[in-house]
Amino acid sequence: MRFFGFAPSQDRLAGAAPLAIMQSATLAHGDSAVAKKSRAKFDPEAFLAKADGGVTISKYRKGQVVFAQGDPADSVLYIREGRVKIAVVSDQGKEAVVAFLKAGDFIGEGCLTGRPRRISTARALEDSVISRVDKATMARILRDQPNFSERFTAHLLARTIRVEEDLVDQLFNSSEKRLARALLLLANFGKDGKQEPVIAKVSQETLADMIGTTRSRVSHFMNKFRQLGYVDYNGDLEVHSSLLDAVLHEKPQIKMPR
């Protein structure tokens, strides 16, 4: 099968991103049991709800801007409920989707490095509840609360790894395979936690922005995925585990140096 446009015998890095998904899926069923048990001991949402000042909880309607590119970077936000899209707009007006974040993720942590302005726009993809922690309070909590600091550090490391995977994906994978990976990530396949095969409506334009291709190409690939039984969509989008199987089946093995 040459579904993703290359033969399994080719020695290239295009399998790096699917490999990460496969490794995450394996950990989610075995080696991460200790990590999950450790995380269960500390609930950042409950902790922030009891913080002594500096924290506000707000509700955002679907489509509402949480913060805009160019706004003062004066707080870190924690998503309690819902999903948020992070996007950047160039001087020429072209938008690039950076990430989709969900409940349990932090946003705007760049303010802690001294960055004075937001470099992206965060918009609620669905009705969401978000805790806003002002910069001074966040710095104090990280300094004084080791459990919270550990959780926040784990978040930063996961985001860094994701950015590296995205870069490899853009450099080495075909647009078809980038779309497959984006759908798997949106559906939470290979993550610690419950898979969410039904994705809230995401436009083909947004998917095209995510993977750096045109809407017509996304439409072509989505029709192909549906015909092969990898996805279903009628308003909402449902991603089947067979898509993950297809990605992993086509993954060339990365040879380790001797």
CA angle 217, 219, 222 (to 5 degrees): 110
pLDDT value of position 212: 83
pLDDT at 38: 44
pLDDT bin (cut points 50, 70, 90) of residue 195 is low
Contact 231, 176 (CB under 8 A): no
> Predicted confidence band at 190 (pLDDT cuts at 50, 70, 90)?
low
pLDDT at 200: 61
Q: What is the mean pLDDT of the chain?
A: 79
If one compares 245 and 196, the residue with the highest pLDDT of the two is 245
* Distance set, CA 126 to CA 117, 204, 233 (Å): 25, 17, 18
pLDDT tens column, 70-121:
999 999 999 999 999 999 998 888 888 888 898 999 999 999 999 999 999 9
Pairing status of strand 106-107 against strand 75-81? antiparallel
- Alpha helix stretches (DSSP H) within 74-145: 135-144
Residue 207 pLDDT exceeds 60: yes
What pLDDT score was predicted for residue 191?
Answer: 56
Higher pLDDT, 61 or 187: 61
The long-range contacts involving 97-103, CB below 8 angstroms and separated by at least 24 positions, are 97/206, 97/209, 97/210, 99/162, 100/125, 100/185, 100/186, 102/188, 103/79
Threshold 0.75, pTM exceeds: no
Q: Which two tokens stand for residue 6?
A: 């290359």
Distance CA 230, CA 186 (A): 14
The pLDDT, as a whole number, for residue 120 is 95
- For 214-234, the pLDDT digits (tens) are 899 999 999 999 999 999 887
pLDDT of residue 87: 92
Residue 232 structure tokens:
């279903």
Q: Single out the residue of 113, 118, 110 nearest to residue 71, CA to CA.
A: 118
114-171 per-position pLDDT tens digit: 999 999 999 998 899 999 999 999 999 999 999 999 999 999 998 899 888 888 888 8
For residue 196, the model assigns a pLDDT of 61
pLDDT digits (tens, 9 = 90+) for 26-65: 333 344 444 444 444 678 888 888 887 899 999 999 999 9
Per-residue pLDDT of 2-25, as tens digits, reads 444 433 333 333 344 444 444 444
